[in-house]
Structure 1
Amino acid sequence: MKHISILVLEDATMSCIDSSYQILTRINDFLKYQGKEPFYTVEMAGLKTDSVLNNGLYSIHTNKTIADISHTDVVVIPLLCGDFSKTLLKNKPYCNWLISQYQNGAEIVSLCVGSFFLASTGLLAGKKCAIHWAAKNEFMTMFPDIQVIDDSIITDENRIYTCGGGYSYLNLLLYVIEKHLGREMSVLASKMFEIDIERKNQHPFIIFVGQKKHGDQYVLQAQEYIERNPAALYTIDELCTKLAVGKRTFERKFKKCTGNSIAEYIQRVKVEYAKKQLESSDKHINEIIYEVGYNDVDAFRKVFKKHTDLSPVDYKKKFRV
């Protein structure tokens, strides 16, 4: 038996709170059909018994306040919305309770950008964290001591689970169910709720957005030039000459500010340009590849798949407008 506390945080989204509750409680029904005992006790927990979400659009009645819960086995942190800095201040009263539960052995399941709150407690320091691609730059700025990953939608480290973007939290719930009750139950939940159990990363959905909140004028100029000229052919030496900066020093500075080398940044911009062409134009795939400056079609296909987890052909089939 495991006791699960789903936190009703300020600025949490109602949909992820309710879907987490529905999925986890339904597991007990699946067990009952198999002639087994229930495994989860699921409760919604807040600072008070009645909470208002989404600027008053929803109201929710919690089962207990966190003051009434001395011990829980699993804490689910919901997806948050709004200004993260303000949201973290609103939810600060939860921090000591969450830290205490983790220190007493609880697992923590953080859904998507709920990881902003989890990170604010210090429990993610030195650990890996998956985050929605659109929030990655802001998260890295606020929490530079946390290793953000984007090659997987789920992290599992020392009883702390995080996940990448949007509704990928459904995959995280399946993952946790599998850890608790085995693959068979996870597959059954996948089939009953029609969740794609094989989703492993968020690469196909990422729109590359460079980190620009670094305050370096020359790096910003380089980024803007690269982004304005996705199909242009130029060398890094030519770019540095254009900006009147020394190549070696500038490359180090660019990497520090953006998290990408200049070559990687150029590559990401070209892939993003190719994605938009594949989505909206009738051009042949090879024509698009040549247009972004690649003479070696196979080389670009490898680069494209590295960043999207799909071949250009499969990407076009999936996202063609």
Structure 2
Amino acid sequence: MKHISILITNEAVLASIADPRIMFTGVNDFLEAAGKPPLFNVQLVGTQREVKLHGGLFSVHTDALLSEVKKTDLIIIPAISGDIKTTLKRNEVFLPWIIEQHQNGAEAASLCIGAFMLAATGLLDGKECSSHWRTANEFREMFPKVTLVDDRIVTEQKGLYSSGGATSYWNLLLYLVEKYAGRDMSIMAAKVFALEIDRKSQSPFIMFNGQKTHEDEPIKKAQEFIEANIAERISVEDLAMKYAIGKRHFERRFKKATNNSPLEYIQRVKIEAAKKHLESSRKNVNEVMYDVGYSDTKAFRTVFKKITGLSPVEYRNKYNKAG
């Protein structure tokens, strides 16, 4: 039987504790209904018997204290809330335990921005990780040794798992069910919990908001210029010349400051504007394309799909009721 430890951390998001418990105990119920033994021993594990969450609105009673769990097979790190640095400080006690358990063969999975806690252990250094797209800039600043993959729903690296934002962690839970209990059980869980199985990208949900917390003022001005001139065709050469910086040096500084090349940034700003048009206006795709400075239909569709995972028409149909 696989032992699963769902951590009850300070400032944990309640749903990301309840949902994995429901998933794994639900699989046990499916197995028992089929005349098979249960597969998972699921425990809520914390540093105290009762943990108050969401400003004391909810209380979670743990099944075991951290010190009582000598060996586990899978650690679930829930999403966290509040100021991230403060919350991580409050949960430092969990980090050596996670590291020790992983060294003893346990796997660990972070849900949504629980990825910050998993990264804080150092176990993700040199590896890839998924998290909520809204906290991507902050994650990269805090954990430069971790490669954050913005668009991916599920990331697996040597027994370490992470999920994209919000409810996309259900797809990670299905992934873990398939690994431990088989594809049939994963399909059963997807049907019972009405989940879309094998969803791999959170790209359609990402809202691009350029990284401007850096101190490189010329690069910040270049970002603002790009965002103020969406309909214009802007070249990297033009930007470098405008801010009196050599092209290669400009590209290096831009990438360092924003985590995007100048061309990627221009594309993302234009596509974000196109998304807003497609969500709220009655303009057709070609009109939107011209509004954001594209004249080549194929190029626009290619870049749009690369960034969002959907074609412009698919995106409009998904998010624009009038469209």
TM-score tier, shorter chain, comes to over 0.9
Question: 1:208-287 to 2 correspondence within 5 Å?
Answer: 208-287=208-287
Q: C-alpha separation between the residues in 2 aligned to 1:64 and 1:301?
A: 53
Could you say which residue in structure 2 is the equivalent of 1:146? 146
Q: Give the C-alpha shift of residue 198 in structure 1.
A: 2.7
- 4+ long deviations beyond 6 Å: none
Q: Give the C-alpha shift of residue 293 in structure 1.
A: 1.5
Question: 1:7-156 to 2 correspondence within 5 Å?
Answer: 7-156=7-156
Could you say which residue in structure 2 is the equivalent of 1:205? 205
Segments of structure 1 that go 5 or more residues without pairing to the other structure are none
Q: C-alpha separation between the residues in 2 aligned to 1:95 and 1:266?
A: 39
Q: Give the C-alpha shift of residue 151 in structure 1.
A: 3.8
Could you say which residue in structure 1 is the equivalent of 2:193? 193
Give the SS at the match of 1:256. Answer: helix
Q: C-alpha separation between the residues in 2 aligned to 1:122 and 1:200?
A: 25
Segments of structure 2 that go 5 or more residues without pairing to the other structure are none
Map Cα deviations across residues 23-64 of structure 1 (whole Å, 9 max, x no partner): 110111100111100000001000000110011111111111
Could you say which residue in structure 2 is the equivalent of 1:158? 158
Map Cα deviations across residues 185-235 of structure 1 (whole Å, 9 max, x no partner): 000000000011131110000001222222100111111111122112232
2:226 and 2:234 in contact (8 A); partners too? no
2:152 and 2:200 in contact (8 A); partners too? yes
2:140 and 2:148 in contact (8 A); partners too? yes
Q: C-alpha separation between the residues in 1 aligned to 2:114 and 2:207?
A: 21
Given residue 288 of structure 1, which amino acid in structure 2 is its aligned partner? V
2:155 and 2:161 in contact (8 A); partners too? yes
Could you say which residue in structure 2 is the equivalent of 1:174? 174
Of residues 252-261 and 74-83 in structure 1, the stretch that sits farther from structure 2 once superposed is: 252-261
Q: C-alpha separation between the residues in 2 aligned to 1:22 and 1:86?
A: 29
Q: C-alpha separation between the residues in 1 aligned to 2:60 and 2:100?
A: 25
Give the SS at the match of 1:124. Answer: coil
Given residue 85 of structure 1, which amino acid in structure 2 is its aligned partner? K
Q: C-alpha separation between the residues in 1 aligned to 2:233 and 2:100?
A: 56
Given residue 192 of structure 2, which amino acid in structure 1 is its aligned partner? M
Q: Give the C-alpha shift of residue 302 in structure 1.
A: 0.6
Q: Give the C-alpha shift of residue 292 in structure 1.
A: 1.4
Give the SS at the match of 1:196. Answer: coil
Question: 1:279-298 to 2 correspondence within 5 Å?
Answer: 279-298=279-298
Q: C-alpha separation between the residues in 2 aligned to 1:151 and 1:235?
A: 26
Q: C-alpha separation between the residues in 2 aligned to 1:20 and 1:40?
A: 12
Map Cα deviations across residues 53-102 of structure 1 (whole Å, 9 max, x no partner): 01111111111111111111111000111111000100001111111111
